[in-house]
Structure 1
Amino acid sequence: MNFTSRELRLIREMERRLIGVRTFADIYKAIEDVMLLVCKAEHLAVGFSHVDNSPGLEWEAPTVKPLLQGYSAWAPRCFVYQYTLSRPNRAARDGVMLQGVPLERTETFEHSVRAGLKLRRVLATLLFKTRAKFLGGLAMYKESAREFSLRDELLLQSFIPAIKEAVDTVQDFQAERFRGDLLSALSREPWAGMVLNALGRRVEETGTARDVVNDWYPTPRELSHDVPADWVTFVKWLSSLDGVPPPDQRTLTKPRGLDTLKVSFKPSTVLRPGCTLYEVRIVEELHWMREEWSRKLSPQQLKVADLLNEGARDEDIARELKLALNTVKEHTKEIYRRTDTEGRLDFVTRGRRS
């Protein structure tokens, strides 16, 4: 289509501003006056998908923010979302999207009225890099009855490639910085760690976390998107609470023989708009004795062996376990026989888990 010299000047200015943007606010500022002037709109809203892939959008929409608060809850019933989702990266006007249904009969119109707005017209698009990578959405609104024209639709369509590229660049930049912040927070602790969002999806993890998960959850049915299913359920429960429970109520334990896996959850120290994140501390409490030896001993012999490892004398063991001294000596002799060792020092030295 042919642009007027004024439109061309505004478009070139917008493209210049989009070069080197680093934040979503930068994108909004770069396109706001051009979009509103060229398409003769009164309101602009731009939404960006969260860097942790959680549902919803992070909005830059100063004048229509009341309409978009909690939008993710009713978006599936919004005619704008329904239409543009089926036609990604394509601009569309309300007259086309409504397909003959009066605007006043839509839930979207009801929400705008409750938000104190009188929005009568909309021109919108959803932005996708690929079908699997959702970037965000853009909408312009009018309060007058005068509809957006086909020319307005074609103008927005011509803007989409430059805006989409800018959004993708910012999201890649922020995702990398976000990942660095998360890894920095996890690296302050000596244990294996993971970060989950409110749905229990993995956002980041330390290098050792995957080995621990694979060891303790070896079958696919125990996992949900590579995260232990019981962790996912627990995080969803935490996210549903009004407030954060005390630390002793934020820990899961998983026993395996004499070993225990302790997994504790806390709100992440890395904050992002729209992101509810939990840092997961993964600690293996492994029994000191090599597993093939511990399987040879009875429960009472294991108690005696633990005290031997702590350096206790026979008299100390008898007092601790409330046993006769001769009984303790019989247990120690049987322990050495079953493990083919020649006494206390040999047993403790060779019996330690490597």
Structure 2
Amino acid sequence: MGMDLTFTSRELRLIREMEKRLRSVRTFEDIYAAIQEVMERICRADHLAVGFTRTDGSPGLEWVAPTVQPLLARYSVWAPQGCFVYQYTLDQPNKPARESQMLAGRSLESTETYERSRAAGLKLRHVLATLLFKTRQKFQGGLAMYKDSSREFSARDEALLEAFIPLINDAVSTVQYIEALRFKGDLLTALSMESWPGMVLNAMGRRIEETGTTRAVLNQWFTLNEFSHDVPSEWVDYVKWLSSLDGLLLPIERTLEKKRGRDTLKVSFKPSTILRPGCTLWEVRIREELHWMREDWARKLSRRQMEVADLVKQGAGDADIAQELKISLHTAKEHTKAVYKKTGAEGRLDLVTRGQRS
């Protein structure tokens, strides 16, 4: 464990129980519960906060921190520039540090973290924290202990936390794997409730999951240079805009349309039914409205002749067509004949049956 750590029999029982529980965790709450008693009793911490990277890849951490949650609200927004804890531990992966090391001579009271803690109704005076990395490229989360009392965290507390980081990291990896499987399963279940293709995007427009039929539709409607990370760029921009409104929009469905000849691609966006704390997800439903007539026949008809063919498809007779298009009965009959001649159809039934798009 680095330095020579000695424990009382009671402390050893707590540590062994923590190790046992960390090896069988299934949720982030399990991890918090497993380490809480050891950190609060052995290290005399008043508060414990454990944050985990989100399954959907969106920025920030998902915190389990019952007593300091107000301080961590929107942490990912202000921490990179305003939190001395985050700034220091980011350069020291898996290395716990006390505030005296992190502040390097500055006073705690001069920091934004301290000011925010006071504004949140907390009286934080000391901190021992680390960021958790499985590898240097795989960021897993963060852990912080706080004290309200004047007694500082010790070198012994620091060494104890460092000794358990590999075990905590393994537990985080286990839960994140379980969460990813469950999360993607839930997303696909939600998507499968509709008959048309769909996907789920995070607040940055990145794809989290999609149904199996989605990719074929997208490849029909968009060229390669119209994609950004496998998502149409216009959808990415639209989701970023929706997310930037931060609750100002009512949770209703919003739709974009893309036209291609007589065909339409309708794409609806609505907040996901799968909720993630502090994380905005968008369900995207993709529906093609394809013209009923086969393309080789449709290309032969003028705009007016296509209007006539559409009315024939709806069951209209010549008199109905004349009334609908505000033309004479004679003109309606001439248009109908022209449609049959150009398509090779032998009549109304043949036009609808053989002319149907496959």
So what's the TM-score if we normalise by structure 1? 0.91
Report % sequence identity: 67
Preserved contact between residue 253 and residue 260 of structure 1 (Cα < 8 Å): yes
Alignment of 1:2-81 (within 5 A): 2-6=4-8, 7-77=11-81, 78-81=83-86
Q: 1:132 to 1:315 in 2, by over 3 A?
A: farther
Gaps of 5+ in 1: none
CA distances 1:251-297 after superposition (whole Å, capped 9, x unpaired): 11111110011111222222232232222221100000122322222
Q: How many pairs were matched up?
A: 352
Look up the match of 1:347.
Answer: 351
State how far apart, in whole Å, the 2-side matches of 1:41 and 1:272 are.
29
Q: What do you get for the CA RMSD once the two structures are aligned?
A: 2.2
Residue 328 of structure 2 is aligned with which of 324, 337, 342?
Answer: 324
Q: CA deviation at 1:346?
A: 3.6
Matching of residue 300 in structure 1 with residue 304 in structure 2: yes
CA distances 1:159-194 after superposition (whole Å, capped 9, x unpaired): 101111111111211221122122112212111121
Look up the match of 2:271.
Answer: 267
So what's the TM-score if we normalise by structure 2? 0.90
State how far apart, in whole Å, the 2-side matches of 1:112 and 1:199 are.
29
State how far apart, in whole Å, the 2-side matches of 1:94 and 1:73 are.
21
State how far apart, in whole Å, the 2-side matches of 1:195 and 1:176 are.
15
Residue 336 of structure 1 is aligned with which of 337, 340, 344?
Answer: 340
State how far apart, in whole Å, the 1-side matches of 2:54 and 2:39 are.
24
CA distances 1:109-130 after superposition (whole Å, capped 9, x unpaired): 2112222323222111111234
State how far apart, in whole Å, the 1-side matches of 2:156 and 2:291 are.
73
State how far apart, in whole Å, the 2-side matches of 1:246 and 1:314 are.
46
Matching of residue 227 in structure 1 with residue 231 in structure 2: yes
Look up the match of 1:148.
Answer: 153
Give the secondary-structure state (helix, strand or coil) at the position aligned to 2:265. Answer: strand
Q: 1:117 to 1:94 in 2, by over 3 A?
A: same
CA distances 1:66-89 after superposition (whole Å, capped 9, x unpaired): 222222221112111112122222
Give the secondary-structure state (helix, strand or coil) at the position aligned to 1:284. Answer: strand
Residue 107 of structure 2 is aligned with which of 102, 111, 116?
Answer: 102
Matching of residue 134 in structure 1 with residue 136 in structure 2: no
State how far apart, in whole Å, the 1-side matches of 2:347 and 2:28 are.
69
Q: 1:245 to 1:28 in 2, by over 3 A?
A: closer
Q: Which amino acid aligns with 2:304?
A: Q
